[in-house]
Amino acid sequence: PIPSWTSTAHVSTINGTTPTPSTTLDVRSGAAVTTTGAGAVTCTQHTYAHRDRRHVVATDINCTNTGVGAVEVVVLQADCPALSTLCNTTTHGLLWTRGAAPVPGVECKRIDILQAETEAVVKPVVGECHSVVPATGLKLTVPPAALATRLAGGGSAGVAHVRLISTRVTNLDQPPIQGDIVELAQLEWIGATASSTLFADHVYAMDDLNKAGIE
């Protein structure tokens, strides 16, 4: 299988310290939920394959801060040496060709599987796009809770959020797709990135899938 950059995203440090993550599976949403915390900051990460947008894998990271000062959170993704099948080269029977990025913040590739299982089988081709995380990490500034909130002893904390998206489109999709494989992956990435209700739409679709009925 070809791994996803986005599914490797994680909180690396909070205020310069390396937190210990705790991961569970949310059965309702089908998302892997990872919680990390240090001091007054807690980050909750949801990583999921979107139920309605079948070409999309997403990671949402939400961090809250109940303290008196802003805190820096660094988010990382696995790099090429760690995920050798994602390198821009010919490796593991895959040929990677870098594609043009339609907008800042995204990288796209075409992946040709070089060997079919049998001569009668079409060789798969994959268009892949993913949100770019700098090698030094994506830095989030989590603002402090408002002074009035702290004096009252409750209320809303300071909040920061980031969403990372990976998309995959293949020539084996059903129904068959029409058009350039990488351009279609780019359009899927743009659409998912622009959505303000991506996770809510996923949960709604999962609830519809899991609702009680005649078995």
Task: Looking at 121-180, list the stretches that DSSP marks H as alpha helix, in order from N- to C-terminal side.
Answer: 147-152
Q: What's the CA gap between 68 and 159, in Å, rounded?
A: 13
Token readout for 13 is: 């440090």
pLDDT tops 80 at residue 79: no
pLDDT grade, residue 61 (50/70/90)? Answer: very high
Using CA of residue 180, residue 88, residue 124, residue 83, what is the dihedral sign? Answer: negative
In this predicted structure, what is the pLDDT of residue 92? Answer: 54
pLDDT tops 60 at residue 90: no
Is residue 80 classed as helix, strand or coil in its secondary structure? Answer: coil
pLDDT tops 60 at residue 73: yes
Mean pLDDT, residues 194-211: 93
pLDDT grade, residue 202 (50/70/90)? Answer: very high
Is residue 22 classed as helix, strand or coil in its secondary structure? Answer: strand
In this predicted structure, what is the pLDDT of residue 175? Answer: 82
* Residue 206: count of CB within 10 angstroms of its CB: 20
pLDDT grade, residue 109 (50/70/90)? Answer: confident
In this predicted structure, what is the pLDDT of residue 155? Answer: 57
Provide the mean pLDDT of the chain: 85
Q: Which amino acid is at 89?
A: T
Q: What's the CA gap between 92 and 94, in Å, rounded?
A: 6
